A = this chain, B = another copy of it.
Amino acid sequence: MTTSTWTRHHILSLADFVPEEYNTVLQTAASFREVLSRRVKKVPTLQGQVVANLFFESSTRTRSSFELAAKRLSADTINFAPSTSSLTKGETILDTAKTYLAMGADMMVIRHKEAGVPQAIAQEMDRLGVRVGILNAGDGQHEHPSQGLLDLFTICSVLNATNPNLELLADKKIAIVGDILHSRVARSNIWSLTASGAEVHLAAPPTLVPQLFTHFGTNRPGKLFLHWEIEPALQDADFVMTLRLQKERMTQHLLPSLREYHQRYGITRDRLKLCKPGVKILHPGPANRGVEISSDLMDDPELSLIPQQVTNGVAVRMALLYLMGSGKA
């Protein structure tokens, strides 16, 4: 599959992504990353098109990343801010989306605290027979596909910067540590990493990971393992992904204390000795320094891929907007 044969108009979930689609995203993102290294970091690809960012749930980094991606493709952007919105006036979410459709949005990037909202909007757009592209920028605890793809792109780029592709992960071990249960990032990453053939090891307190996660690995090249201790997950890992711990998990009595969490599941320099030499750390951000990861590791350029994740996020989102848009020609 090349960009000319891309057929997906919406990007809602990674559950049904096929390897050719992953590889097209990886290759397209690699070419856009090259654009971002130029002085004039802009291409005319989406000139005259409109990308509407409908963030019903607020976000700094994801909204900014999509906005920059759109602007670097020369699209016009429009931001929907829920606090100044008609939502307080009782308008339904579908009516809001249809309003931006009627205003001429070519693509909508949608975040909502409830799972399924982007899918519902995409279904409505398809029912109306319009070719607007819907991109899920995080829906409840369900999925965050652009984050899953940028993490995949970041990992593959470590292994081969000029030709990142899914096959590079076939024999790799990747640990995902933390609040798996509530993490849409973890869900999207599990889909992409098991599609690549990697071994994915989840580690979390029993209260923060459900047994049913093992179903993710069925019928996929990779394998999924679940641990209640961090050590077996880190053992010989090539990459460690640690997740943000929402502090409200304490008040929900899912965790005893931040300090105990750090002691048992925090990524520290000492624990990394279990991993393969050259191990790299990822974090979707924003991080709680000293909770899910010790502060010095975050700032260690030999170990941390965090800045690359952010940079690659813009390149991957440019690729997604480009691919969704190119399907319309």
Contact = CB atoms under 8 A, between A and B. Distances in A.
Interface of A: 36, 38-42, 47-50, 55, 58-61, 63-65, 67-68, 71-72, 76, 78, 80-81, 83-87, 89-92, 95-96, 98-104, 244, 247, 285-289, 298, 306-311, 313-314
B48 A38 contact: yes
A98 B306 CA distance: 10
B60 A85 contact: yes
B289 A96 contact: no
20 contacts: A36-B104, A39-B48, A40-B49, A41-B48, A41-B49, A41-B50, A42-B47, A50-B71, A55-B84, A60-B84, A60-B96, A60-B99, A91-B285, A91-B286, A95-B286, A96-B286, A98-B307, A102-B307, A103-B311, A103-B314
**Protomer copies:** 3
B61 A99 contact: yes
Contact of A99 (B39, B101, B285): B285
Given A41-B49, A76-B72, A83-B83, A311 B90 contact: no
Given A71-B76, A310-B103, A89 B40 contact: no
A96 to B, nearest CB: 7
B287 A91 contact: yes
Contacts of A298: 95
B58 A48 contact: no
A83 B60 CA distance: 9
Contacts of A41: 48-50, 104
A86 B72 contact: no
A245 B267 CA distance: 50
